[in-house]
Structure 1
Protein backbone atom coordinates (compact mmCIF):
# COMPACT_ATOMS: atom_id res chain seq x y z
CA UNK A 1 0.00 0.00 0.00
CA UNK A 2 2.82 2.40 0.85
CA UNK A 3 4.47 1.56 -2.48
CA UNK A 4 1.28 2.52 -4.36
CA UNK A 5 1.08 5.75 -2.37
CA UNK A 6 4.68 6.55 -3.29
CA UNK A 7 3.94 5.94 -6.99
CA UNK A 8 0.90 8.23 -6.84
CA UNK A 9 2.96 10.96 -5.14
CA UNK A 10 5.69 10.66 -7.79
CA UNK A 11 3.12 10.80 -10.59
CA UNK A 12 1.55 13.94 -9.10
CA UNK A 13 5.01 15.50 -8.67
CA UNK A 14 5.81 14.83 -12.31
CA UNK A 15 2.46 16.23 -13.49
CA UNK A 16 2.68 19.40 -11.37
CA UNK A 17 6.32 19.94 -12.32
CA UNK A 18 5.53 19.67 -16.04
CA UNK A 19 2.61 22.08 -15.71
CA UNK A 20 4.42 24.71 -13.64
CA UNK A 21 7.85 24.55 -15.28
CA UNK A 22 6.46 25.41 -18.70
CA UNK A 23 4.83 28.55 -17.28
CA UNK A 24 7.20 30.01 -14.73
CA UNK A 25 10.75 28.70 -14.83
CA UNK A 26 12.19 28.51 -11.25
CA UNK A 27 8.83 29.11 -9.53
CA UNK A 28 7.79 25.67 -10.78
CA UNK A 29 10.32 23.91 -8.59
CA UNK A 30 9.09 25.72 -5.48
CA UNK A 31 5.50 24.88 -6.36
CA UNK A 32 6.47 21.24 -6.87
CA UNK A 33 8.13 21.14 -3.46
CA UNK A 34 5.07 22.63 -1.73
CA UNK A 35 2.71 20.19 -3.43
CA UNK A 36 4.97 17.27 -2.49
CA UNK A 37 5.00 18.27 1.16
CA UNK A 38 1.20 18.68 1.20
CA UNK A 39 0.64 15.27 -0.41
CA UNK A 40 3.09 13.51 1.92
CA UNK A 41 1.45 15.12 4.96
CA UNK A 42 -2.03 14.09 3.81
CA UNK A 43 -0.89 10.51 3.13
CA UNK A 44 0.81 10.33 6.52
CA UNK A 45 -2.27 11.66 8.35
CA UNK A 46 -4.51 9.21 6.51
CA UNK A 47 -2.24 6.23 7.25
CA UNK A 48 -1.76 7.16 10.94
CA UNK A 49 -5.46 7.86 11.44
CA UNK A 50 -6.38 4.43 10.09
CA UNK A 51 -3.95 2.71 12.48
CA UNK A 52 -5.22 4.73 15.44
CA UNK A 53 -8.80 3.70 14.60
CA UNK A 54 -7.82 0.02 14.28
CA UNK A 55 -5.89 0.03 17.56
CA UNK A 56 -8.75 1.76 19.37
CA UNK A 57 -11.26 -0.77 18.03
CA UNK A 58 -9.04 -3.73 18.96
CA UNK A 59 -8.45 -2.24 22.40
CA UNK A 60 -12.20 -2.01 23.00
CA UNK A 61 -12.69 -5.62 21.92
CA UNK A 62 -9.91 -6.81 24.23
CA UNK A 63 -11.28 -4.79 27.15
CA UNK A 64 -14.67 -6.43 26.75
CA UNK A 65 -13.14 -9.89 26.58
CA UNK A 66 -10.80 -9.28 29.52
CA UNK A 67 -13.41 -7.61 31.74
CA UNK A 68 -15.80 -10.52 31.49
CA UNK A 69 -18.53 -8.75 29.53
CA UNK A 70 -17.97 -11.43 26.94
CA UNK A 71 -16.68 -14.16 29.24
CA UNK A 72 -17.65 -16.94 26.84
CA UNK A 73 -15.20 -15.99 24.11
CA UNK A 74 -11.50 -15.21 24.06
CA UNK A 75 -9.56 -13.28 21.46
CA UNK A 76 -6.07 -13.75 20.06
CA UNK A 77 -4.37 -11.05 18.01
CA UNK A 78 -2.66 -11.97 14.74
CA UNK A 79 1.13 -12.09 15.10
CA UNK A 80 3.49 -10.06 12.92
CA UNK A 81 4.14 -13.10 10.76
CA UNK A 82 0.43 -13.24 9.85
CA UNK A 83 -0.40 -16.31 11.94
CA UNK A 84 -2.42 -16.83 15.09
CA UNK A 85 -0.71 -18.38 18.11
CA UNK A 86 -2.52 -19.81 21.11
CA UNK A 87 -1.06 -20.84 24.45
CA UNK A 88 -2.47 -24.06 25.83
CA UNK A 89 -1.55 -25.76 29.09
CA UNK A 90 -1.27 -29.55 29.11
CA UNK A 91 -0.80 -31.24 32.48
CA UNK A 92 0.69 -28.00 33.81
CA UNK A 93 3.07 -27.42 30.86
CA UNK A 94 2.50 -24.33 28.70
CA UNK A 95 2.78 -24.82 24.92
CA UNK A 96 2.66 -22.09 22.28
CA UNK A 97 0.83 -23.50 19.25
CA UNK A 98 0.15 -22.23 15.75
CA UNK A 99 -3.56 -22.28 14.86
CA UNK A 100 -3.94 -24.23 11.60
CA UNK A 101 -7.53 -24.52 10.36
CA UNK A 102 -6.23 -26.49 7.38
CA UNK A 103 -4.90 -29.29 9.58
CA UNK A 104 -7.36 -32.05 10.45
CA UNK A 105 -5.48 -33.03 13.60
CA UNK A 106 -3.49 -31.32 16.31
CA UNK A 107 0.17 -32.20 15.82
CA UNK A 108 2.83 -31.73 18.48
CA UNK A 109 6.42 -30.98 17.64
CA UNK A 110 8.90 -33.46 19.06
CA UNK A 111 10.30 -30.71 21.33
CA UNK A 112 6.86 -30.11 22.84
CA UNK A 113 6.27 -33.85 23.20
CA UNK A 114 9.51 -34.15 25.19
CA UNK A 115 8.43 -31.21 27.39
CA UNK A 116 5.26 -33.21 28.16
CA UNK A 117 7.29 -36.27 29.13
CA UNK A 118 6.70 -38.19 25.89
CA UNK A 119 9.77 -39.81 24.35
CA UNK A 120 9.39 -39.56 20.54
CA UNK A 121 11.82 -42.48 20.06
CA UNK A 122 9.40 -44.91 21.73
CA UNK A 123 6.32 -43.99 19.68
CA UNK A 124 4.66 -45.89 16.84
CA UNK A 125 4.49 -43.54 13.84
CA UNK A 126 1.47 -45.25 12.29
CA UNK A 127 -0.37 -42.19 10.96
CA UNK A 128 0.40 -40.51 7.66
CA UNK A 129 -0.47 -36.92 6.74
CA UNK A 130 -0.35 -35.11 3.42
CA UNK A 131 1.02 -31.63 4.05
CA UNK A 132 2.07 -28.72 1.88
CA UNK A 133 5.64 -30.02 2.28
CA UNK A 134 4.81 -33.60 1.36
CA UNK A 135 3.89 -36.68 3.36
CA UNK A 136 4.86 -37.01 7.00
CA UNK A 137 4.44 -39.74 9.59
CA UNK A 138 3.09 -39.13 13.06
CA UNK A 139 2.37 -41.06 16.23
CA UNK A 140 -1.04 -40.87 17.94
CA UNK A 141 -1.06 -39.94 21.64
CA UNK A 142 -3.68 -38.74 24.11
CA UNK A 143 -3.13 -35.59 26.15
CA UNK A 144 -4.78 -35.21 29.55
CA UNK A 145 -5.97 -32.02 31.27
CA UNK A 146 -5.79 -29.55 28.40
CA UNK A 147 -6.55 -25.89 29.16
CA UNK A 148 -7.01 -22.88 26.94
CA UNK A 149 -7.31 -20.09 29.49
CA UNK A 150 -10.46 -21.04 31.43
CA UNK A 151 -11.60 -23.69 28.95
CA UNK A 152 -10.92 -27.27 29.95
CA UNK A 153 -10.73 -30.47 27.92
CA UNK A 154 -10.22 -33.63 30.00
CA UNK A 155 -8.39 -35.27 27.10
CA UNK A 156 -7.38 -34.53 23.53
CA UNK A 157 -6.28 -36.96 20.83
CA UNK A 158 -3.23 -35.57 19.03
CA UNK A 159 -0.26 -36.79 17.02
CA UNK A 160 3.45 -36.31 17.54
CA UNK A 161 5.20 -35.30 14.35
CA UNK A 162 7.78 -37.66 12.90
CA UNK A 163 9.65 -34.61 11.59
CA UNK A 164 12.31 -33.62 14.11
CA UNK A 165 12.76 -30.19 12.53
CA UNK A 166 9.12 -29.17 13.08
CA UNK A 167 9.52 -26.16 15.35
CA UNK A 168 5.95 -25.40 16.34
CA UNK A 169 3.04 -27.54 17.44
CA UNK A 170 -0.10 -27.09 15.33
CA UNK A 171 -3.61 -26.70 16.75
CA UNK A 172 -5.74 -28.30 14.09
CA UNK A 173 -9.43 -29.06 13.76
CA UNK A 174 -9.30 -31.92 16.30
CA UNK A 175 -8.86 -29.15 18.89
CA UNK A 176 -10.81 -26.37 17.18
CA UNK A 177 -13.93 -28.55 16.76
CA UNK A 178 -14.59 -27.93 20.46
CA UNK A 179 -15.04 -24.22 19.68
CA UNK A 180 -16.95 -21.88 17.44
CA UNK A 181 -14.41 -19.50 16.00
CA UNK A 182 -14.25 -16.47 13.75
CA UNK A 183 -11.76 -13.81 12.74
CA UNK A 184 -12.57 -10.11 12.89
CA UNK A 185 -10.10 -7.26 12.39
CA UNK A 186 -7.02 -9.48 12.81
CA UNK A 187 -8.35 -11.05 16.02
CA UNK A 188 -9.22 -14.74 16.27
CA UNK A 189 -12.16 -15.32 18.62
CA UNK A 190 -12.85 -18.72 20.19
CA UNK A 191 -16.11 -19.64 21.92
CA UNK A 192 -16.39 -23.06 23.54
CA UNK A 193 -19.34 -25.11 22.26
Structure 2
Protein backbone atom coordinates (compact mmCIF):
# COMPACT_ATOMS: atom_id res chain seq x y z
CA UNK A 1 0.00 0.00 0.00
CA UNK A 2 2.87 2.38 0.75
CA UNK A 3 4.17 1.86 -2.78
CA UNK A 4 0.80 2.93 -4.18
CA UNK A 5 0.78 6.10 -2.05
CA UNK A 6 4.36 6.90 -2.96
CA UNK A 7 3.57 6.33 -6.66
CA UNK A 8 0.63 8.73 -6.42
CA UNK A 9 2.86 11.28 -4.69
CA UNK A 10 5.50 10.91 -7.39
CA UNK A 11 2.89 11.29 -10.14
CA UNK A 12 1.50 14.40 -8.44
CA UNK A 13 4.91 16.04 -8.17
CA UNK A 14 5.95 15.22 -11.73
CA UNK A 15 2.58 16.35 -13.08
CA UNK A 16 2.79 19.58 -11.12
CA UNK A 17 6.16 20.48 -12.61
CA UNK A 18 4.99 19.59 -16.13
CA UNK A 19 1.78 21.58 -15.82
CA UNK A 20 3.46 24.53 -14.11
CA UNK A 21 5.84 24.85 -17.06
CA UNK A 22 3.12 24.62 -19.71
CA UNK A 23 2.38 28.04 -21.22
CA UNK A 24 -0.14 26.95 -23.86
CA UNK A 25 -2.93 26.03 -21.43
CA UNK A 26 -5.35 28.71 -20.39
CA UNK A 27 -4.72 30.21 -16.98
CA UNK A 28 -8.03 28.90 -15.58
CA UNK A 29 -7.51 25.35 -16.83
CA UNK A 30 -3.99 25.38 -15.49
CA UNK A 31 -5.16 26.44 -12.00
CA UNK A 32 -7.95 23.85 -12.08
CA UNK A 33 -5.48 21.08 -12.87
CA UNK A 34 -3.04 22.29 -10.23
CA UNK A 35 -5.77 22.35 -7.55
CA UNK A 36 -6.91 18.88 -8.61
CA UNK A 37 -3.36 17.61 -8.26
CA UNK A 38 -3.01 19.28 -4.85
CA UNK A 39 -6.20 17.57 -3.65
CA UNK A 40 -5.06 14.17 -4.95
CA UNK A 41 -1.66 14.73 -3.32
CA UNK A 42 -3.20 15.61 0.04
CA UNK A 43 -5.46 12.54 -0.15
CA UNK A 44 -2.47 10.32 -0.97
CA UNK A 45 -0.44 11.91 1.84
CA UNK A 46 -3.30 11.33 4.29
CA UNK A 47 -3.55 7.69 3.21
CA UNK A 48 0.22 7.23 3.58
CA UNK A 49 0.12 8.86 7.01
CA UNK A 50 -2.71 6.57 8.10
CA UNK A 51 -0.79 3.59 6.79
CA UNK A 52 2.42 4.58 8.59
CA UNK A 53 0.76 5.44 11.91
CA UNK A 54 -1.39 2.31 12.04
CA UNK A 55 1.35 0.52 13.95
CA UNK A 56 -0.77 0.13 17.09
CA UNK A 57 -1.69 -3.45 16.32
CA UNK A 58 -2.16 -4.40 19.99
CA UNK A 59 -5.07 -3.18 22.11
CA UNK A 60 -5.87 -4.11 25.70
CA UNK A 61 -9.58 -4.07 26.50
CA UNK A 62 -10.97 -3.10 29.88
CA UNK A 63 -11.53 -6.80 30.62
CA UNK A 64 -7.83 -7.59 30.23
CA UNK A 65 -8.22 -9.07 26.75
CA UNK A 66 -5.30 -8.59 24.42
CA UNK A 67 -6.58 -7.85 20.92
CA UNK A 68 -4.13 -8.12 18.04
CA UNK A 69 -4.85 -6.74 14.59
CA UNK A 70 -3.47 -8.59 11.59
CA UNK A 71 -0.56 -6.89 9.89
CA UNK A 72 -0.42 -5.99 6.22
CA UNK A 73 0.78 -9.51 5.47
CA UNK A 74 -2.24 -11.05 7.25
CA UNK A 75 -0.17 -12.35 10.18
CA UNK A 76 -0.53 -11.46 13.84
CA UNK A 77 2.53 -10.01 15.59
CA UNK A 78 3.10 -9.53 19.30
CA UNK A 79 5.93 -7.82 21.14
CA UNK A 80 6.97 -9.52 24.37
CA UNK A 81 9.85 -8.99 26.75
CA UNK A 82 12.03 -12.08 27.01
CA UNK A 83 14.49 -11.92 29.91
CA UNK A 84 13.89 -8.16 29.93
CA UNK A 85 14.62 -7.68 26.21
CA UNK A 86 11.92 -6.73 23.68
CA UNK A 87 11.32 -9.45 21.08
CA UNK A 88 8.78 -9.26 18.26
CA UNK A 89 7.00 -12.56 17.61
CA UNK A 90 4.71 -13.79 14.90
CA UNK A 91 1.76 -15.80 16.22
CA UNK A 92 2.11 -19.24 14.65
CA UNK A 93 -0.62 -21.70 15.64
CA UNK A 94 1.13 -24.25 13.45
CA UNK A 95 4.25 -24.10 15.63
CA UNK A 96 4.30 -26.41 18.64
CA UNK A 97 6.30 -24.12 20.92
CA UNK A 98 7.87 -20.74 21.42
CA UNK A 99 10.83 -20.67 19.00
CA UNK A 100 13.52 -18.00 19.03
CA UNK A 101 15.59 -17.06 16.04
CA UNK A 102 19.33 -17.19 16.62
CA UNK A 103 19.49 -13.39 16.54
CA UNK A 104 16.75 -13.02 19.17
CA UNK A 105 18.29 -15.78 21.29
CA UNK A 106 21.58 -13.87 21.37
CA UNK A 107 19.78 -10.62 22.25
CA UNK A 108 18.04 -12.23 25.27
CA UNK A 109 21.31 -13.53 26.68
CA UNK A 110 21.65 -17.00 25.16
CA UNK A 111 24.67 -18.13 23.16
CA UNK A 112 23.24 -19.84 20.04
CA UNK A 113 26.68 -21.14 19.03
CA UNK A 114 27.11 -23.17 22.22
CA UNK A 115 23.59 -24.67 22.39
CA UNK A 116 23.11 -28.40 21.78
CA UNK A 117 20.77 -28.70 18.76
CA UNK A 118 19.48 -32.17 19.60
CA UNK A 119 15.89 -31.80 18.38
CA UNK A 120 14.55 -31.40 14.86
CA UNK A 121 11.59 -29.66 13.31
CA UNK A 122 10.06 -29.92 9.87
CA UNK A 123 9.54 -26.44 8.49
CA UNK A 124 8.65 -24.91 5.15
CA UNK A 125 12.43 -24.55 4.63
CA UNK A 126 13.15 -28.20 5.42
CA UNK A 127 14.38 -29.92 8.57
CA UNK A 128 16.17 -27.69 11.08
CA UNK A 129 17.87 -28.34 14.38
CA UNK A 130 16.34 -27.16 17.64
CA UNK A 131 17.95 -26.52 21.00
CA UNK A 132 15.71 -26.68 24.08
CA UNK A 133 16.14 -23.74 26.46
CA UNK A 134 14.32 -22.32 29.46
CA UNK A 135 13.61 -18.60 29.45
CA UNK A 136 13.75 -16.89 32.84
CA UNK A 137 10.80 -14.65 32.05
CA UNK A 138 8.42 -13.88 29.21
CA UNK A 139 6.29 -10.78 29.79
CA UNK A 140 3.50 -9.02 27.95
CA UNK A 141 3.56 -5.39 29.08
CA UNK A 142 1.06 -3.17 27.29
CA UNK A 143 -1.24 -0.31 28.33
CA UNK A 144 -0.97 -1.11 32.04
CA UNK A 145 -1.52 -4.84 31.55
CA UNK A 146 1.25 -7.06 32.89
CA UNK A 147 1.29 -10.77 32.15
CA UNK A 148 4.48 -12.45 33.33
CA UNK A 149 5.49 -16.07 32.99
CA UNK A 150 8.61 -17.58 34.58
CA UNK A 151 10.71 -20.56 33.53
CA UNK A 152 9.16 -20.75 30.07
CA UNK A 153 10.27 -23.71 27.95
CA UNK A 154 11.30 -22.68 24.45
CA UNK A 155 13.51 -23.64 21.52
CA UNK A 156 16.22 -21.88 19.55
CA UNK A 157 16.12 -22.55 15.82
CA UNK A 158 19.44 -23.56 14.28
CA UNK A 159 18.39 -22.58 10.75
CA UNK A 160 17.36 -19.36 9.06
CA UNK A 161 14.44 -17.74 10.85
CA UNK A 162 13.52 -14.11 10.16
CA UNK A 163 11.21 -13.70 13.15
CA UNK A 164 10.68 -15.62 16.37
CA UNK A 165 7.55 -17.77 16.61
CA UNK A 166 4.95 -17.76 19.35
CA UNK A 167 3.50 -21.25 19.07
CA UNK A 168 0.86 -23.27 20.84
CA UNK A 169 3.09 -24.35 23.74
CA UNK A 170 3.05 -20.74 24.95
CA UNK A 171 -0.43 -19.78 23.69
CA UNK A 172 -2.00 -22.58 25.78
CA UNK A 173 -1.26 -20.42 28.82
CA UNK A 174 -4.22 -18.27 27.77
CA UNK A 175 -7.75 -19.33 28.73
CA UNK A 176 -9.18 -18.15 25.43
CA UNK A 177 -7.73 -17.71 21.97
CA UNK A 178 -10.11 -16.50 19.26
CA UNK A 179 -9.71 -15.25 15.71
CA UNK A 180 -12.45 -12.92 14.52
CA UNK A 181 -11.76 -11.55 11.05
CA UNK A 182 -8.54 -9.56 11.24
CA UNK A 183 -8.41 -9.70 15.04
CA UNK A 184 -6.87 -12.27 17.35
CA UNK A 185 -8.07 -12.18 20.96
CA UNK A 186 -6.04 -13.55 23.86
CA UNK A 187 -7.52 -13.72 27.34
CA UNK A 188 -6.01 -15.05 30.57
Query: Which residue in the other structure is 2:40 paired with?
Result: none
1:183 aligns with 2:183: no
TM-score, with length taken from structure 2? 0.64
- The structure 1 segments of at least 4 consecutive aligned residues displaced by more than 2 Å after TM superposition are none
Distance in 1 separating the partners of 2:126 and 2:135: 26
Decide which of 157, 160, 167 is 2:162's aligned counterpart: 167
Query: Which residue in the other structure is 1:104 paired with?
Result: 96
Structure 1 or 2: larger helix share?
1
Q: Tell me the secondary structure at the aligned position of residue 103 of structure 1.
A: coil
5 Å-filtered alignment, 1:1-193, equals 65-66=60-61, 68=62, 70-71=63-64, 73-149=65-141, 150-163=146-159, 165-179=160-174, 180-192=176-188
- Uncovered stretches (5+) of structure 2, i.e. residues with no partner: 1-57
Q: Tell me the secondary structure at the aligned position of residue 135 of structure 1.
A: strand
Per-residue displacement from partner, 1:149-178 (whole Å, max 9, x unpaired)? 311111210000001x31100001111010
Distance in 2 separating the partners of 1:79 and 1:93: 22
Residues matched between the structures, number:
126
Per-residue displacement from partner, 1:90-138 (whole Å, max 9, x unpaired)? 1210100010000111110000001011111100000111122221111
